[in-house]
Chains A and B, each alone.
Chain A
Amino acid sequence: MPTSPQADARFEEQVRSAPFIFSGQIVKPGASTVATLPPNDRLAIVKIDTVFRAPAVLGSLTGKRITVQIAAGKPMKTGAKALFYATSWLYGDGIAVVEVARADVPKDKKDMLARVAQAEIRLEDNKLTDRLSRADLVVSGIVADTRPVDRERPEPRSEHDPVWWQADIAVDRMEKGKVQSVIVLAYFPASLDEYWLDVPKLQPRQRGVFILHRGADDKRTILQPPGPALLHPLDFQPAVQLDRVRALLKLASI
Chain B
Amino acid sequence: MPVTVINMIPNSLSGETQRDSEPNVSVNPANPQQIAASAFTPDPANSGNAPIFVSTDGGNTWVLNVKLPGGNKTGDTSLRFATTSGVLYAGILRSDTAFQLNILRDPNFTGAGLMTTLVNRANDDQPWVEAVTGLGGTGRGNDHLYVSSNDISQRTTTGFTATVEQSLDAATAPPPAGIAAARLEVRPTANLGGASGSQDGPSVRTAVHHDGTVYGAYLGWRTFATPNVTDVVVVRDNDFGAGATPYADPQDGGDGLAGVRVVIGVQSAPLNTTLGTQRIGSHIAVAVDPRDSQTVYLAWADGATAAAYTVHLRRSTDGGQNWTGDLRTIASATNPCVAINVHGKVGFMYQQLGNPGTGNRWRTHLEISSDGFATAPTDFLLADVPDANGTYAGTNPIGDYANLIALGKNVVGVFSANNTPNNANFPNGVTYQRNANFGTNTLLANDNVTPVTASIDPFFVRYIDVAAGDDFYVRDWTDSAVSGDTGLEPSTHPVFYATSDVWNRRGTLPGPFPNDQPSNEDAGNGAGNLGDNWAFARIRKNAPGTGTKDVTAHFLVSKLGTGSNYVDDNIIGSGVTFGAPDPTVTFNAADLGPIITPALPWHLDAVVSTHLCLAVEISAPGDPFVAPSLLGRAPGWPTTDLAVINDNNKAQRNMGLSTTSNRGAGLTDDFYAIVHNAATFRRDVVIRLNATPEVLRRLPGAQIVLVGGEKTRFKPGTEVVLPAMDPGENRWIGLSLTPPKGKTGEVLFVTFDEMVGGVAVNGFGLGVRIATDAEVVRAKLKLHCSVFTRLAAGFDVHDAEEQAKLAEKLAAAKTLDTKLYVDFLRSQSAAITRIIATFMKGRKDVFRISDALKVLSRAALGKKWEDAAAAHASFLNRLDSFLTSLQLERGDPADILQNVLWQQDLYRRLPSLRKLECAKEIAERSRAFVQAFGGREGGTHGYQRHIEGLLHCFQDTAKALPNLGLEKRIEEITRQIGDQTSLQKAHRQYLLVLEALRTRAQKGSRGRKVR
A95 at the B interface (CB under 8 A): yes
Contact-size category for B: 35 or more
Stretch touching chain A among B10-18, B523-531, B548-556, B810-818:
B10-18
B827 at the A interface (CB under 8 A): no
Q: Are B270 and A154 in contact (CB under 8 A)?
A: yes
Q: Are B152 and A158 in contact (CB under 8 A)?
A: yes
Q: Are B95 and A194 in contact (CB under 8 A)?
A: yes
Q: Are B123 and A91 in contact (CB under 8 A)?
A: no
The distance from the CB of A187 to the nearest CB of chain B, in whole angstroms, is 15
The distance from the CB of B269 to the nearest CB of chain A, in whole angstroms, is 10
Known contacts A35-B61, A155-B225: A223-B271 contact under CB 8 Å: no
Q: Are A88 and B272 in contact (CB under 8 A)?
A: no
In the complex, which residues of chain B have a beta carbon less than 8 angstroms from the beta carbon of A87? Answer: 45, 47
Known contacts A19-B47, A221-B122: A158-B64 contact under CB 8 Å: no
What is the number of residues of chain A that contact chain B, defined by CB distance less than 8 Å? 46
Q: Are A159 and B95 in contact (CB under 8 A)?
A: no
Q: Are A156 and B110 in contact (CB under 8 A)?
A: no
Instruction: State A156–B228 Cα separation when bound (angstroms).
Output: 11
The distance from the CB of B852 to the nearest CB of chain A, in whole angstroms, is 51
In the complex, which residues of chain B have a beta carbon less than 8 angstroms from the beta carbon of A54? Answer: 45
The distance from the CB of B192 to the nearest CB of chain A, in whole angstroms, is 6
Q: Are A91 and B10 in contact (CB under 8 A)?
A: yes
In the complex, which residues of chain A have a beta carbon less than 8 angstroms from the beta carbon of B44? Answer: 55, 57-58, 88, 91
| Residue from B16, B40, B96, B279 within 8 A of A159 (CB atoms) | B279
Instruction: State A247–B125 Cα separation when bound (angstroms).
Output: 40
Known contacts A154-B270, A155-B271, A158-B271: A57-B97 contact under CB 8 Å: no
In the complex, which residues of chain B have a beta carbon less than 8 angstroms from the beta carbon of A158? Answer: 99, 125, 150, 152, 202, 271
Q: Are A55 and B45 in contact (CB under 8 A)?
A: yes
In the complex, which residues of chain B have a beta carbon less than 8 angstroms from the beta carbon of A163? Answer: 272
Q: Residue on B with the closest CB to A98?
A: B112
Known contacts A36-B56, A156-B271: A92-B10 contact under CB 8 Å: yes
Contact with B along A11-23 (1 / 0, CB 8 A): 0000000011000
Instruction: State A90–B272 Cα separation when bound (angstroms).
Output: 36
Known contacts A87-B47, A192-B396: A159-B202 contact under CB 8 Å: yes
Instruction: State A98–B226 Cα separation when bound (angstroms).
Output: 51
Contact residues of A: prevailing secondary structure:
loop
Contact with A along B835-878 (1 / 0, CB 8 A): 00000000000000000000000000000000000000000000
In the complex, which residues of chain B have a beta carbon less than 8 angstroms from the beta carbon of A223? Answer: 98-99
In the complex, which residues of chain A have a beta carbon less than 8 angstroms from the beta carbon of B564? Answer: none
Instruction: State A195–B126 Cα separation when bound (angstroms).
Output: 13
Instruction: State A59–B22 Cα separation when bound (angstroms).
Output: 27
Q: Are A91 and B95 in contact (CB under 8 A)?
A: no
Which residues of chain B (776-825) have a CB below 8 Å from chain A? none
B433 at the A interface (CB under 8 A): yes
Instruction: State A58–B16 Cα separation when bound (angstroms).
Output: 8
B63 at the A interface (CB under 8 A): yes
Q: Residue on A with the closest CB to B272?
A: A156
Instruction: State A218–B100 Cα separation when bound (angstroms).
Output: 11
Instruction: State A72–B95 Cα separation when bound (angstroms).
Output: 31
Q: Are A160 and B93 in contact (CB under 8 A)?
A: yes
Q: Residue on A with the closest CB to B34?
A: A36
Q: Are B54 and A36 in contact (CB under 8 A)?
A: yes
The distance from the CB of A236 to the nearest CB of chain B, in whole angstroms, is 19
Instruction: State A93–B14 Cα separation when bound (angstroms).
Output: 10
In the complex, which residues of chain A have a beta carbon less than 8 angstroms from the beta carbon of B16? Answer: 57
A101 at the B interface (CB under 8 A): no
B898 at the A interface (CB under 8 A): no
In the complex, which residues of chain B have a beta carbon less than 8 angstroms from the beta carbon of A98? Answer: 112
| Residue from B12, B125, B281 within 8 A of A160 (CB atoms) | B125
Q: Are B51 and A157 in contact (CB under 8 A)?
A: no
| Residue from B15, B99, B152, B193 within 8 A of A57 (CB atoms) | B15
Q: Residue on A with the closest CB to B93?
A: A160
| Residue from A88, A160, A220 within 8 A of B75 (CB atoms) | A160
Residue among A89, A94, A219 having the largest count of chain B Cβ atoms under 10 Å: A89
The distance from the CB of A95 to the nearest CB of chain B, in whole angstroms, is 5
Q: Which 5 A-B pairs have the closest CB atoms?
A: A59-B446, A92-B63, A19-B45, A88-B45, A155-B270
A interface, CB within 8 angstroms of B: 19-20, 34-37, 54-60, 69, 87-95, 98, 153-163, 192-195, 197, 218-223
25 A-B pairs whose Cβ atoms sit less than 8 Å apart in the complex: A19-B45, A19-B47, A20-B45, A36-B61, A37-B63, A54-B45, A57-B16, A58-B44, A60-B446, A88-B45, A88-B51, A89-B65, A91-B10, A92-B10, A93-B10, A155-B272, A156-B270, A158-B202, A159-B282, A161-B271, A162-B98, A193-B279, A194-B22, A221-B100, A222-B98
